[in-house]
Amino acid sequence: MATAAATGARIRLRIRVRGVVQGVGFRPFVCRLARARGLDGFVLNDADGVWIEVEGIEENARGLASQLTTGAPPLASITEVEVEDLVLAGDPGFRVLESGPASSGRAVIPVDAATCDACLRELFDPADRRFRYPFVNCTDCGPRYTIVRETPYDRKKTTMDAFALCGPCLAEYENPLDRRFHAEANACGACGPSLKLIAGRAASPVPGSAALAAAAKLLTAGGIVALKGLGGFHLAVNAHDAGAVERLRSSKRRPSKPFALMARDLDVARTVADVSPEAERTMLSPARPIVLLSRRRQAEMAEGVAPGLSEVGVMLPYTPLHHLLLNDGPPLLVMTSGNLSEEPIARRNDEALEKLGGIADAFLIHDREIHTRTDDSVIRIVAGDPQLIRRSRGFVPEPIRIPVPPASASVLAAGAGLKNTVCLTRGDEAFLSPHIGDLENPEAIRFFEEVTEKLKRLLSVDPAAVAHDLHPDYFSTRWAVASGLPRQGVQHHHAHVAACLAEHGRTETAIGIAFDGTGCGPSGELWGGEILTADLIDFRRAGHLRVLRLPGGEAAIRQPWRAAAGALLDAGEALEALEDVPPDRLHAIRRMLEKNARSPEATGAGRWFDVVAVLCGFLGTTTYEGQAAAELEALAGPDGADPYPFDLLAGDGEGPFEVDLRPMVREIASARRAGAPVRDIASRFHETMARVILESARIVRKNASLETAVFSGGCFQNRTLTERAKLLLESDGFEVLIHRRVPANDGGVSLGQAAVAATRLARRQGRI
């Protein structure tokens, strides 16, 4: 390339930048680069991303294009840069223009980001004009996805359009060299959102800083405060106050499910849990998720925060309001979703006052509208790296590249019935919705429909097809059938495996270990302990766990002693291990099993975790999904336990093989009669399931010459199982893929559905 000094040749370039490049300070970044290089031209946002035209010395113009990806702002994520030569235009200077018209609609809305260090310094600086202003933000932090209504991402298209900028804020907003240049949520105490505390219907609202002081005082005294956050309301109590925690449990009708905590800082977090270096990095990331941590033996919190578990979920404050409240009040708060049981998180002030009025003593609210509700994301550190358990705030709507042609037709995937998310594809990008939850009540169904429409509008996409589960009774399936779009049914466990393949960008056939509670097989069978061979188009069932009869059907999930009775009798064992169950109930269950009445057969791996939890003493009724399995994992010791025996039974002809766990049940029953410690039983069971996975993978490798294994399904939220099985398989020469960017549970099913349907459509169209 000729240098500027040698030729002085001028050129003009059009540069298209796609990815997360709006609302993250990208235009001022480009402006600074262009002016430093003496270039003329402009930069603007449009529905594709960022459009740049630069004119000047060739070396400087092309140098700017190459520099875009190396020094981009911290929240930017560039997926594509296109450079095109233009004729010279001769426009003087470099300008930042207003957003351009919509084109193909490939812009990506940035995720909501935790308060940055610069804004925190201002928040606590008495000399700063934003001192203690609860809504301080800049282009490096603050609300994004939760306030935007449509693209391009400009203030007038967000809920901040209701607040006219004052003179100083407007000057920042219009200055390309300021870090608040086009920070769409920019505001201060003179022009922006404000706080208000409502305590009792008759009392007058308390405004501003007095509202914050009153909320902190109430929390210190043991009160329950409903707090309007970034993506919805939280219910907060002092985590050191056992009475307050118990009152929250009682009023929210949540007897056992663990609460999340918010700690003032890492030092406070370490008073309740062990924080590994990877956990620390994750907790301090802009997403600020809840991270599941091993609780300390003498954790400085109320025991009722996470009863029966060895872990506790902890997050750090991610809004200025959180920082102020934790600074002024208790340094450790229970911070749980502001909703009634199984309903979506409340987002509007009136909605919170109506639904949470019987729970909260006071409401700390503000007047910035939340356009899209988002729960807190949840992460567990598995095999040394973060694994998402719930993908929502801080990660949505960040796209996941899937291995389909970029011009592929758009697919809308409706997801599963529990832990629902929906997924919309745009070319080779897949956009998962925030966590929606269980589609079992009208509020959740309305949220499902609301999120689906918002995704289509924000992405400017009309799907060409809809993908769905095979279960005919899921609301998501019925919705897909009623949509009128061409449909692609995707088997539940195939979708699990495909989700993991897709997030890793893989298309080849792999060994899929799909272990969860229950999913519908191709002919309506209840599957859940599946060994598959699968790719992004089809699958084959290579093996499965032995069926377990569930007396009472779904009642056996809520009361897992029923499933344990089925397992004991199937193994030829007496029911004496269930001595705490009333004899008349045991007799009734025995009769049901003998007559095979209302006792469906299921292969679900999750049910075996329930069975062993019961044999280790869990004889109650579960109050949240996976409770028995979670408490069983909490009992288990470190790796190294001896496995229990199990049998591998060959299928007939080409049929799938069966993993027979009856030998294990017989040994556990014998161990319980001999008084063996439940910790030993729990440890040996986890080792057994890991060995089941290893031996199953070996059979498939021998028969199908496959070397890659994929772990998916809710059972692989279990760190003990996942890490041990991964180690065993890798030591035996397998490559093992586990979930990182999407949940292993049903929250990832929509991605798998979308990837399978998009791949099938691409093949049908001759694109692959």
113 DSSP 8-state letter:
B
**Three-class DSSP category at 350:** helix
Average pLDDT over residues 597-625: 93
pLDDT at 100: 62
- Band the pLDDT of 98: cuts 50, 70, 90: confident
Q: Encoding tokens for residue 73? A: 């702002």
Residue 375 · residue 337 · CB < 8 Å:
yes
For 555-609, write each residue's pLDDT tens digit.
999 999 999 999 999 999 988 888 888 888 888 888 898 888 888 999 999 999 9
Q: What is the pLDDT of residues 120-154, one digit of tens each?
A: 999 999 999 999 999 999 999 999 999 999 877 88
* 87 CB neighbour count, 10 Å cutoff: 8
Please report which confidence band the pLDDT of residue 4 belongs to, taking 50, 70 and 90 as the band edges.
Answer: very low
Q: What's the rounded Cα separation, in Å, for the pair 27 and 673? A: 71
* pLDDT-derived band at 218, boundaries 50, 70, 90: very high
**Cα–Cα distance, 27 to 179 (Å, whole number):** 11
Q: How far apart, in whole angstroms, are the C-alpha atoms of residue 688 and residue 742?
A: 27
User: Model confidence at 105, in pLDDT bands (50, 70, 90)?
Assistant: low
Inform me whether the pLDDT recorded for 692 exceeds 50. yes
This prediction's pTM: 0.92
pLDDT at position 104, please? 46
Residue 27's nearest CA partner among 113, 103, 96 is: 96
- 472-478 long-range Cβ contacts below 8 angstroms, 24+ apart: 472/520, 473/417, 474/416, 474/417, 474/439, 475/417, 475/439, 475/445, 475/448, 476/414, 476/415, 476/416, 476/417, 476/420, 476/422, 476/439, 476/448, 477/414
Question: Looking at 196-205, 244-253, 327-336, 562-571, which range is the least confident one?
Answer: 196-205
- First-to-last alpha carbon distance for the chain, in angstroms, is 38
Greater pLDDT, 767 or 763: 763
CA nearest neighbour of 114 among 280, 230, 260, 262:
230
Section 71-93 average pLDDT: 89
Contact 229, 321 (CB under 8 A): yes
Closest CA to 723 of 662, 613, 640: 640
Record the tokens describing residue 108, joined without a space.
């990506």
What distance in Å separates the CA atoms of residue 234 and residue 393, rounded to the nearest whole number?
13
On the question of pLDDT at 223 being above 90, the answer is yes
The predicted structure's pLDDT at residue 2? 36
Q: pLDDT band for 407, please (50, 70, 90 cuts).
A: confident
User: CA 306 to CA 198: how far, in whole Å?
Assistant: 29
Q: Which pLDDT does position 23 carry in this prediction?
A: 77
Token pair, residue 608, equals: 């075996």
Give the per-residue pLDDT at 3. 39
pLDDT tens-digit map of 636-658: 987 668 999 999 998 776 789 99
Q: What is the DSSP-derived secondary structure letter of residue 550? A: -
pLDDT, average across residues 491-508: 98
SS3 state of residue 27? helix
pLDDT of residue 1: 35
* Sheet strands side by side (includes 260-263): 206-207, 195-198, 362-366, 225-228, 233-238, 332-337, 260-263, 311-315, 290-294, 378-382, 385-390
Q: Judge if the upstream peptide bond of residue 397 is cis by omega within 30 degrees of 0.
A: yes
Mean pLDDT of 452-481: 95
- Strands lying side by side in the sheet with 94-96: 77-86, 10-20, 49-57, 40-46, 94-96
Q: What is the mean pLDDT of residues 16-42?
A: 90
* 430-449: pLDDT as tens digits: 999 999 999 989 999 999 99
**Would you say residue 747 has pLDDT above 70?**
yes
Q: Are 400 and 80 in contact (CB under 8 A)?
A: no
Segment among 49-63, 193-207, 743-757 with least mean pLDDT: 193-207
Tokens of residue 267, six digits? 């030092």
Q: How far apart are CA 495 and CA 739, in angstroms?
A: 13
Which DSSP string do the residues of 240-287 spell out, in sequence order?
T-HHHHHHHHHHHT-SSSPPEEEESSHHHHTTTB---HHHHHHHTSTT
Mean model confidence pLDDT for the chain: 93
- What is the model's pLDDT at position 768? 81
Residues with Cβ < 8 Å from 101, sequence gap 6 or more?
Answer: 46, 47
Is 385:94 a contact under the CB 8 Å cutoff? no
How confident is the model at residue 679, as a pLDDT? 94
SS3 content of the chain, % helix, strand, coil (to 5): 35, 20, 45
**For a pLDDT cut of 70, what percent of the chain falls above it?**
97
89 Cα distance to chain centroid: 47
Mean pLDDT of all residues in 244-260:
95
Query: Tell me, what's the pLDDT at 484?
Result: 94
400 or 91: which carries more pLDDT confidence?
400
Higher model confidence: residue 58 or residue 342?
Answer: 58
pLDDT of 341: 78
- Across the range 187-205, mean pLDDT stands at 90
Look at residue 359 in the predicted model and tell me its pLDDT.
Answer: 96
Distance CA 426, CA 510 (A): 26
Q: Which domains does the chain have, with CATH numbers?
A: 4-96 (3.30.70.100), 109-165+182-387 (3.90.870.30), 526-534+541-737 (3.30.420.40)
The residue among 108, 137, 25, 12 whose CA lies nearest residue 65 is: 12
3-state secondary structure 437-476: ECCCCHHHHHHHHHHHHHHHHHHCCCCCEEEECCCCCCHH
CA separation for the pair 443, 437 (Å, rounded): 10
